[in-house]
Every structure is written in structure tokens, then in C-alpha cells.
Amino acid sequence: MNYFVTAIGTDSGKTLVSSILVEALKADYWKPVQAGKPLDTETVKELVSNEITRFHPETHIFKLPASPHAAAKFEHLAIQLDDFVLPETTNDIVIEGAGGILVPINQEHYVIDIARELSAPVILVVNLYLGCINHTLLTVDYLKRNKIPVLGIVFNGESNFESENIIEEKSGYKVLLRLPKLSLINKEIIKYWADELMLNWYE
């Protein structure tokens, strides 16, 4: 099975969560669109311990750290939705998106359309900050209205019971993991949270 990791915005912790998922499932990893450095693929490589995971090359890498449509335009290029073809593998793939679900990849399509094109259900990363309830429920509304399957939510950041509770209640999505604000991120930390994720994965 393939999984599409997306979020309610930029810098939400998608790469961290992707690393945990890859380690937990011993899945392959693929970042279809990379805009700017550091390369998320290299970050995940440094954090994953298992020897089964393969890291597939990006479909597009752009120099400018910007929305994919703008980063492509900066290099006089254009992204097409049919550019994205699943890598050949017999393993599951964790696919990491760019930014939030409605970040444009061209004048017509958004990041979430990659998930739809690849028939990959979503894992939604919700980083906890003032305003995250509104941003999350707007994201959830779009996903539901467009009948995009969602496996669950990962909360990321300093715990806020009221925010988490209302998001869980209003979305109806399963909470896969509650990640605290991590001061240290290394292979051992990723392995620990991968084990925690697996406790919830089959419930």
C-alpha cells in the first residue's frame, strides 16, 4: 500500500512523520517534488535505521524554496500531473507532499492532486499552534468534500488537549500518533516513535 503524507501547512513536520512511518512500516520513501534545500530524501535517509527501505529519486527538484508552481516557473519549467508515476517496487511507499494540500503545482492542480492521481490515502500532519484548529478543519472540509481517503492524523508539537480534542471530534479521523515537541531527532528517537506508531496502527 502507498501512503501520502500531507499537512495543514508548511513546516508542519511532514519529513519527521514520514521518517517515522518509513521506519515503522519498513516502507520505501519518495518525495515527488522538492523545492529548495536541504533535500528531504537525504534527511529521511539519515533518520531511518532499517535495511529494507529504498529511497526513490524525486520527479522534480527545484532550486528555489517556494511553492512548486513558482519554483518550476523560476527555472522556466512546468509541472504536469501525469509527470508523477509510482516508482517500481514490491514494497509499500511513503510519499511526502510539499507544503499543505492546496499548494499549487501548476495553474490547475494542487499537491493533493498528486495523492489522488496515485490513489494514495492521506496521513494528515497537524502541527499544534494558535490557529491550527481553523487550518485543520478547513483542510478536513476540503478532503471530505472531494472524497479523498484519510487514514488518520498525526499531531505534532506541544500537546494542547482542547485543540486536539475538537479536531479529533470534528474530523472523525483516527489519531495515529501524538508527537511531542522534540528537542532531539536522531535514529533512536525515530525508532522509538515508530514503535509507538505501530501500537495504534492496527487498532
Give DSSP secondary structure letters for 92-157.
Answer: -EEEEEEEETT-BSSSS-BHHHHHHHTT--EEEEEE-STTHHHHHHHHHHHHHHTT--EEEEEEES
Predicted model pTM: 0.96
Determine the average pLDDT of the residues in 157-161: 95
Cα Dmax for the chain: 47
* Cell of residue 91, nine digits: 514494497
Residues in the annotated binding site for Mg(2+): 15, 40, 96
User: Cα–Cα distance between 105 and 185 in angstroms, integer?
Assistant: 30
pLDDT of residue 159: 94
Residues in the annotated binding site for ATP: 11-16, 40, 96-99, 180-182
The radius of gyration of the chain from alpha carbons, rounded to an integer in Å, stands at 16
Does the pLDDT value for residue 197 go beyond 70?
yes
Confidence band of 203 (pLDDT split at 50, 70, 90): low
Residues 6+ positions from 64 with CB-CB distance below 8 Å: 35, 36, 70, 71, 74, 75
Type and span of the H or E element at 5 = strand 2-7
Confidence band of 110 (pLDDT split at 50, 70, 90): very high
Note whether 148 and 118 are within 8 A (CB). Answer: no
Q: Which of 31, 45, 63, 170 is catalytic?
A: 31
Does residue 73 have an active-site annotation? no
Note whether 57 and 34 are within 8 A (CB). Answer: no
Domains of the chain with bracketed CATH: 2-201 (3.40.50.300)
Q: What is the pLDDT of residues 49-86, one digit of tens each?
A: 999 999 999 999 999 999 999 999 999 999 999 999 99
Confidence band of 94 (pLDDT split at 50, 70, 90): very high
Give percent helix, percent strand, percent coil of the chain, each to the nearest 5: 40, 20, 40
Does the pLDDT value for residue 202 go beyond 90?
no
